Amino acid sequence: MQQLRVLDAAIPPQEPFAPDRLPLLVVAVILSLVFSAAVLFIRETVDPTFHRVEDLRAFTRVPILACIPPTSTLMDRVGARLKTMGALLVLLTTLSIGIVAAYVFAAGNHGIARLIARMGS
């Protein structure tokens, strides 16, 4: 029969050992902003239209005979405003999801840390 002797007793931590929420929240905010910017950049890059005469001149060597100035109707202005609000909504949604995910991830670790601390004492 073997006998075991504990040389150093485990000391439970005074507070739960888990990731610090503030740096995790900052990383989530930064990642959500980068993701939103990437989505907007990709959307603008995929747009095949020419927005300025210089863009068309750079694309082709055919002479441009006329340039029709843009006409802005009420529906165009409403559409532009809705597009801006949609982009803002995507940004806020991504930011909110990142914050909630960081909170859930960090909050779940406190219970595990307490369980491990109880097992050691």
Per-residue pLDDT of 35-66, as tens digits, reads 888 888 888 788 778 878 888 888 888 888 88
Indicate the average pLDDT of the chain.
82
Compute the CA torsion angle 62, 65, 71, 75 (nearest 10 deg): -40
Residues 21 and 41: their CA atoms lie apart, in Å, by 30
Segment 92-114 shows an average pLDDT of: 76
Q: Given CA atoms 48, 50, 55, 60 in this order, what sign does their dihedral have?
A: positive
Write the CB contacts of 117 (distance below 8 Å, at least 6 apart in sequence). Answer: 12, 13, 16, 17
Residue 11 lies in a domain: no
Residue 8 lies in a domain: no
Residue 67 resides in a domain: no
What 3-state class would DSSP assign to 2? Answer: coil
Domains in the chain, number: 1
Full-model pTM: 0.40
What span, in angstroms and rounded, lies between the C-alpha atoms of 33 and 37? 6
In a domain, residue 36? The reply is yes
pLDDT for 112 equals 65
Structural domain containing residue 92: 27-44+75-121
- Strands, DSSP E only, in 59-106? none
